[in-house]
Structure 1
């Protein structure tokens, strides 16, 4: 029997759209919740004066979240069906927590974007749609929640769906990657199974759609990429000369005997062996954690990248990047920060803030600073070269973080290249 594949998804939406309730419903209907958890939620719901269990309590784990009835942090949950396993990130809806949404959606293969049927597509919906597109998430589904609370659900759903598809088209979303589903997270309509309460809708339920979303890895035409995470030197009597380079394959496939380069030095060698905890492999593909044994003794350490000879990228020290600013203090020209790309961390200077994106008007304007939650393009110079691809070619090798060198706090999520050119 083939093991079920894995889908990474995230939720996003405005405050009180029902994201946590929807996630709780998915967990409950897929029987992914233990009996004692249900009992605890039931008791907490009774204490709040509710007649039915508040399924959002299955997700909102922080005390502040339960007291305020909102999601603050990114909550990761795991569930499965006979067809597929899921890793879900439930992200906050408040504007001030947009940085958490960026974190939760950065590795997602699909985002479930919620909107309240009584409100339709609002400012935060447009903001999240732009962020999702910017992050290169392959698929998005609009869950029009609380559809049971509107007087004419058929026309309301049609209007919201048409407006959302128009928005996504303006953002350059590929055809067939955007879907809309009317749901009631509270009552379970069209969440895990199709509902008779929405005769105007003949598509799949949300769970059926999630089970059908393709999970094929990125097929961008780039070669093998392997950031070195750790150099293994056991120095034991059994393995006196063992030198292995451990990490995760970020792109492409590597096979024993392949000729490779160690960047940024440019040293060439070949793959002598591929080790794992379960034994040797003949080849390894994207996402596989392995230890590479090279045929020659080369000077390679954490932060270096082993790449295929064909199509090897040119290490960069100056480049244009798109960033989502996540800090309260402004980003200004001349800021000296740390840049973390893959397994390498180096000093960096922001040469200039070149433009700022308006996610409501879908326009780019000139700017000299970036404020909290703003998205813009900047010029970056690094102290050491980084081995990076453009983000639209490979999400793993094209992403980085900007870090405050004094506090160690993350200041921005960055994408190599001018990703805004795809949004306007």
Structure 2
């Protein structure tokens, strides 16, 4: 009997064309929004600058390539008119012009009039940008200056230490190759291995950049979407209450808790399929995730979905009217979403008042996602959010059962 009821619940939800249509439209709209987030995330999380290369030499192209590798920069290339237009529209912070004869100038040791940077008047970041750009130019400039000095050294005394070609001055290619070999030598490795540990004792060994903020925003949107789908799937239970079907079922062999459990399991099954589709669509957008990370993220989606379904079933019992249920549910989704996004900003704004947002499931959802994404080896994961979800689900289940007994 219970198995048949579970099957009928699933069929009833799937036969509701309006609900299924809204779910499909929501999923497609969500994927479209997330795709646009992914396309522009790097651009939005970096400082946009423009470059016009008038030299087109190997050195100038190497400089542009090096600037593109700087995590703080997002580089546009184009004509002076195009870049100036972007600057006037404040779509870039500055643009630089690499002058003609750039390569020849640094080859002879000239360090002036190599590039010109244009920026908006009063922009305090211009000095920082110019320092970063100059830092990327330094290696090539120092390399050529070093070679020019080397040519005037008593090379017969030192050449044997630098090359197998005895009593012969190094050519530029040999000198450049030797300098590059020093960069890869462990004797000249000045890198620093910094382990970042946050206040929750979670080892954040992964590189943390601005893009994590956009990933948190995506996860916050996922939380709102799952809340919305949980509300839609719970609407049928409210309609049963409103139409009096629950009262009629009360005189049958089925208890009120069995009715609730059948509806919860049916909605949870469909929500689980929805979660699998979401995770499969988004896995590639969060970097190279390990199998353990994917499993933990799926468990996180499942627990959050379960809590949301139980929450909306509870609201349905209290409201007893479909219209009232939808209004209260939409307010809850928006409020939970707002508090979830506030929890993202609470960390770097340092506002203690914003920590009140940590009491809602959306915040636990985002916090645990961040911990999983930033910990490839999953060391230091406390799983406290999972425990919160389980305790909350048990509490909501008990309240739902008590209300069912009272009402029916």
Instruction: Please give the TM-score of this superposition, normalised by the length of structure 2.
Output: 0.22
Which structure has more RCO (C-alpha within 8 Å, separation ≥ 6)?
Answer: 2
Structure (1/2) with the larger helix percentage: 2
Q: Which has the larger radius of gyration?
A: 2
Give the TM-score of the pair, scaled to structure 1. Answer: 0.21
The structure with more strand, counted as a fraction of residues: 1
